[in-house]
Amino acid sequence: MVKEIERYGIPIVHMATITTISESVGANRIVPTVAIPHPVGNPQLNSEDEHALRKELVNRALNALATEITEITHFE
Partner 1 sequence: MKLEIGRIHIKDIQFGDSTFVEDGVLTVDKAGLIASLKEDERIKDVQVDIARPGEKVRIIPVKDVIEPRVKVEGTGAGFPGVTSKTTQCGQGRTHVLYGAAVVTVGDIVGFQEGVIDMWGEGAKWTPFSKTYNVTVDIQVVEGLEVHTHEETVRLAGLRAAEFIGQAGKEVEPDEVLTYELGGMFEETAKYPNLPKVLYVEMMITQGLLHDTYIYGVNAQTILPSVMHPNEELDNAVISGNCVAACDKITTYQHQNNSVILDLYAQHGKELNFTGVIMVPEHTTLSGKLRVADYTVKLAKMLGADGVIVSEEGYGNPDSDLLMICKKLEDAKIKTVLITDECAGRDGLSQPLADTAAEAVAVVSTGNVSHVVTLPPAEKVIGNPESIAVLAGGWKGAVLEDGTMMCELNAVIGATSEIGYHNVTCRLY
Nearer to partner 1, 21 or 58 (CB): 21
CA torsion angle 42 47 49 52 (round to 10): 90
DSSP 43: T
Nearer to partner 1, 20 or 46 (CB): 20
- What stretch of H or E contains 39? none
The CB-of-38 to partner 1 minimum distance in angstroms stands at 9
Which residues sit at the interface with partner 1, rule CB under 8 A? 17-21, 24, 32, 34-37
Nearer to partner 1, 36 or 66 (CB): 36
